[in-house]
Structure 1
Amino acid sequence: MVPYRATVDVPHELVERDGQDLVTAVARLFDKDRAHKLFKMPTANLGRNGAPQHPEKRRAGGHGPTLDDEVSYLLPVDPDTAEETPGAFHSPPEWWAEYAPAVHRWEVLMGSPAPIPVEFGPRGGRRLASVFAEWLMGLPRGWITHIPGLNRARQLKAAGNGVVSQQSSTAYLHLLNYREDNDRG
C-alpha cells in the first residue's frame, strides 16, 4: 500500500531568488509569525553514543545534544501509555511539547503521522525509537526498521548515514532550473 502524500503548493514569491530554501518557504506557509524548534537530524554515530543525557548535561560537558537526548528528555510522551491511531493523519500534539508545529508540518509533507518517538531500552530507560528516526528522514515505515538482521544501533546508523530524499530531489531540481536559467540568459 502506498501512503497518501499531501501536496503543498508553495507560492512562487516565497521561493524566488531571495535566498530562502524550501524548508523555510514551507515553514512560512504554516506560521508566518514565529520560528519553531526543530529536532536534530539523526547522525551515523547515534546508536553508539551511549545512553541519552539531558541536553543541558551534554552541553555542560562541551558537547551538543543529540536527537536521542532531545527526544528522551524533552518530550512528554510516555511509551507505556502512548498509542498510535491507525488511519490518523496526525499524531497526538501533546507528545511534542515545543516541537509540535515542526512535527505537524512534517506530518503534512510526509502524508503520515509521526510514530511514537521513544521506547524503553533493555535497562528500562527512555531512548529514541529507531522508527522515529526513520520517519524524520522522510522514509516510509519499515524502509530501515523492517530489514532482517539490523539491530537498533545499525538502524540508527543507516538513518544517520542517509539523505532526506525530499531535500536532495528539491536541490537537484533547483540546480537543473538554475542551469537552464543561466543557459538562456
Structure 2
Amino acid sequence: MNLKQILLFGCFFMSIITFAQNNIFDVARAGTVDEVKKLMAINIDTINKPNDEGYLPLTLACYNGNEAVGLFLIKHVNNINGDSKYGTPLMAAVFKGHVLLVQTLLENGANPNIADVNKTTPLHYAVLLNNDVIIKLLMDYNVDVTLKDSRDKTALDYALMDNNKSIIELLEK
C-alpha cells in the first residue's frame, strides 16, 4: 500500500467513525435533515426508537428547537404523539415555547390532551409559562380545559392563582 492509499483509507475510516458518532438523538438535538436522512437510509425505523433514557428523536428535536429536523420528523415518524413517559413531542415544544413546532404538531394530529407521568398536560405548561400564543393554539385544537394534574388542578386553576386575566379569559371561552 502506498502513502496515498493509506491516507485515503485513513480519511475513509475517520469519516465512518465520525458518522457513527452522530446518532439519531444527537442529530435530533442539533443536526440537519440530511443527517437524519442518512441515518434513515441505514435503518428507516431509527426515528421511532427511544434512547436509553426513554426520549424519542422527535421529542428531543422539539425540546431543543431544532425546527428543520422537527418539521421533517413530524411528517415521518410512526407516532406523532410518541410513547414516552417523559411526555409527548407537543409537550416538549410547548414547554420550550417553540410556536412553529407546536402549530405543526397540532396541524398533523398531535393530541393536546395527553398528560405526562404527573398528569400535566401541554395546556398546564402553557399556562404556567404564561404563553398566550400557545394557549390560543391549543384552544383552537380543542384542548380539554377540565383535565387535572396530579395536584388536582386544572390549567384554569393555575391561571387564577397567578391572576393572569388574559389567560383566564382565554380559558373561560
**Is the TM value for this pair above 0.5?**
no
Structure ranking higher on relative contact order (CA contacts 8 Å, 6+ apart): 1
Q: Is the helix fraction higher in 1 or 2?
A: 2
Larger CA Rg, structure 1 vs 2: 2
